[in-house]
Chains A and B, each alone.
Chain A
């Protein structure tokens, strides 16, 4: 801007921004630091600085930091199993969601008929449905059909629940790919499928990657479905952490939960670090085009 802003405004704005950044980051840094302490330090009633310097940790373990929480969570409570389950689930959900979603989203963006619009509106209403209301519809039939508890069932359900969002997102990405591109291929004698295969697929990757990131987050972060649809040994990370809370507090092993929380957050940090641009563009894509 041409005119310089007054000093007080710059100071105010910077101060506010620093405050926000502190609010957004300190809780995570604090938990990361505290996960290497013992419970008496992380939840210190006397003095919060105990957690910084690890006073009790030194007294209890002989060093100012300890990996006991991680050892307890990963080895004793078998958090590695939950990690593998999460890996299988998220990767399958992303792959299947994107396959179904690209086909559907492409069709919706190229159909000139009214019903395409209505499918999108219905998808919007489905998108608004709290997931847990659907779970109450699944449970009884799943028990009867012996489908309950399997990772596969949860994957399929989650793909379906992801579809409305995936369709909307990919539909708006495909609208941005000029129609002339595939239509000229069809003039040259391609069928619709060939046009999709040879013309659209090579140029759709930015949109697909962005949508895939959000499908990943949806599957990774879910608790409503995974918490109710999986047996104990098939649990993914988030319900596993929730189960720590139930019995950890009694055993005095709340540090297991802290360590597990840090472990489950780490992949998300890496994800944001590498895909920040795609996440930002994905968040805004729906807004600008919808």
Chain B
């Protein structure tokens, strides 16, 4: 296809992506270097019966005017990146100097908002992804064994946790697991612990979110693996059987190698999707014990701490984008090498 025709086909799509994906990334990068103007402080002389005093007062009008004139704020360089709410170099140095043990140091670092969110995001991503693949594979094997007439309804039910809106899915589970819900309340009665609640401890909150993540994503892995199982070469299976391979050996040496490319695909998609974990934290109301990178950006932008913190949200966004690039680097490098060899 000549370049000119190619461009005339692709320009609407490319323009949309330029304007609303590439340009916003630039906008994020710029915003991350600025912070809101400080309040305008004026020195006012207050004269009373006992003489004059100079007082420093906030000029609200001038502040509002300045902030409206320059919404971007003032240039702050990398200041936002290294402050307490982001990379917190100073606090980490302090923790390093004062910490009595490595555990103490880790505890102090994980109390900083950014590292707390990073820890949960990474744990979630790297625990949920393998569990999803294992569970999806086992479901696919089990569904593959049942008679044909049951397969359709089984797949229908299995798809539900994935199709449903993440926020809604997490709410549905939350209303059951919460201390007032059916599972939470029953557990309290069974264990005779009226204070048992998923919000009670960090470990329980993380566990619940991970369970939700696996529940939500397992159907995706299941469907992909199930489709893959339909194309397993039957003659290889049969010859393995003739050679005396056991059931397990056939799965291990014929089925799993055949599904390997699919597992790579599922892993890639899951890494991307789990890294942006956000809705379940809102749904489970879990922000006290578990925050993610996406969630702290949301929190800054929602202005829940007073004003909308554009600079802070932008700095976290830049760090998140860098995280995504690191996550994807192996895949892109591999495709690049494969492409170079092919060319």
Please give the residue numbers on chain A whose beta carbons come within 8 Å of chain B beta carbons, in ascending order. Answer: 1-3, 5, 9-10, 13-14, 16-17, 20-21, 23-25, 27-28, 30-31, 34, 42-45, 48, 51, 99-101, 103-104, 106-108, 110-114, 116-117, 119, 121, 123-141, 143-144, 156-157, 159-161, 163-164, 167, 192, 196, 217, 220-221, 223-224, 227-228, 238, 241-242, 245, 257-258, 261, 264-265, 268-269, 271-273, 276, 279-280, 283-284, 286-288, 290
> Which of chain A's residues has its CB closest to B180's CB?
A43
DSSP class of A's interface residues: helix, strand, loop or mixed? helix
Residue of A nearest to B314 (CB): A136
Sample (12) of A-B pairs whose CB atoms are under 8 Å apart: A3-B241, A9-B247, A31-B175, A45-B180, A48-B186, A101-B13, A108-B10, A113-B3, A129-B321, A129-B324, A140-B71, A160-B21
Report yes or no: A265 in contact with B168, Cβ–Cβ below 8 A.
Answer: yes
Query: B159: which A residues are within 8 A, CB to CB?
Result: 272, 276, 279-280
Give the chain B neighbours of A45 by CB distance below 8 A: 180, 185
The 10 A-B residue pairs with the shortest CB-CB distance in the complex, in nearest-first order: A137-B24, A160-B20, A104-B13, A107-B9, A130-B276, A133-B317, A43-B180, A284-B227, A137-B27, A160-B16
The answer to whether A139 and B308 have CB atoms under 8 Å apart is: yes
Contacts of B317 in A (CB 8 A): 132-134, 136-137
Contact A280 B142 (CB under 8 A): no
Q: Which residues in B have their C-beta under 8 angstroms from that of A28?
A: 160, 164, 172
A266 vs B314: C-alpha distance when bound (angstroms): 37
Using a CB–CB distance below 8 Å, which chain B residues touch chain A? 1, 3, 5-6, 9-10, 12-14, 16-17, 19-28, 31, 71-72, 138-139, 141-143, 145-146, 152, 154-161, 163-168, 171-173, 175-176, 178, 180-182, 185-186, 215, 219-220, 223-224, 227-228, 237-238, 241, 247, 261-262, 265-266, 272, 275-276, 278-279, 282, 285, 293-294, 297-298, 300-302, 308, 310, 313-314, 316-317, 320-321, 324-325, 327-328, 331-332, 335-336, 339, 343
Q: How far is the CA of A43 from the CA of B155 in the complex (A)?
A: 31
Give complex CA distance A10, B142 in Å: 9
Please indicate the chain A residues that have their CB under 8 angstroms from the CB of B26 in the complex: 137
The docked-state distance in angstroms from the alpha carbon of A163 to that of B159 is 24
The CA-CA distance from A138 to B227 in the complex, in Å, is 39
B310 touches A136 (CB 8 A): yes
B327 near A128 (CB under 8 angstroms)? Answer: yes
A135 to B20, CA, bound (A): 10
Assuming the A-B contacts A107-B6, A136-B314, A273-B156, are A17 and B146 also in contact, with contact meaning beta carbons closer than 8 angstroms in the complex?
yes
- With A13-B142, A125-B328: A242-B155 Cβ-Cβ less than 8 Å: no
Does B175 lie within 8 Å of A1, measured CB to CB?
A: no
Say yes or no: B294 contacts A130, CB within 8 Å. yes
Select one of B14, B138, B227 contacting A280, CB under 8 A. Answer: B227
Given contacts A136-B28, A265-B168, contact A272 B156 (CB under 8 A): yes
Instruction: Determine whether the beta carbon of A136 is less than 8 Å from that of B31.
Output: yes
Smallest beta-carbon distance A43→chain B, Å: 4
With A20-B158, A100-B13, A125-B324 given, is the CB distance from A113 to B24 under 8 Å? no
**Chain B residues positioned under 8 Å from A13 (CB to CB):** 141-142, 145
A17 and B154 within 8 A (CB):
yes
The listed residue with most B CB atoms (<10 A of its CB), out of A130, A139, A157, A160, is A130
**What CA separation (Å) do A13 and B251 show in the bound complex?**
15
Q: Which residues of B contact A271 (CB under 8 A)?
A: 163
Q: Which chain A residue has the least Cβ–Cβ distance from B146?
A: A17
Contacts of B310 in A (CB 8 A): 136, 139-140
Decide: A287 near B262, CB < 8 A? Known: A13-B145, A45-B180, A121-B332.
Answer: yes
Instruction: Contact check, A51 vs B167: say whether CB atoms are below 8 A apart.
Output: no
Whether B157 contacts A25 by the Cβ 8 Å rule is yes
User: In the complex, what residues of B have CB within 8 A of residue A223's CB?
Assistant: 165-167, 278-279, 282
Which listed residue (B14, B27, B266) contacts A287, Cβ 8 A?
B266
**Closest CB-CB distance, A208 to chain B, in whole Å?**
15
Q: Are A136 and B220 in contact (CB under 8 A)?
A: no
Given A107-B1, A130-B293, A268-B163, also A163-B142 (CB < 8 A): no
- Determine if B28 and A133 form an interchain contact, defined as CB atoms under 8 angstroms apart: yes
Chain B residues lying within 8 Å of A112, measured Cβ to Cβ, are 1
Is A156 a contact of B20 with CB atoms below 8 Å? yes
The complex places the Cα of A31 from the Cα of B293 at a distance, in Å, of 30
Q: Is the pair B71, A144 in contact by a Cβ cutoff of 8 Å? A: yes
Q: What residues of chain A lie closer than 8 Å to B25, measured between beta carbons?
A: 129, 133-134, 137
Complex CA–CA separation, A228 to B278 (angstroms): 13
Instruction: Known A125-B332, A220-B165, A287-B262; judge A276-B227 contact (CB<8 A).
Output: no
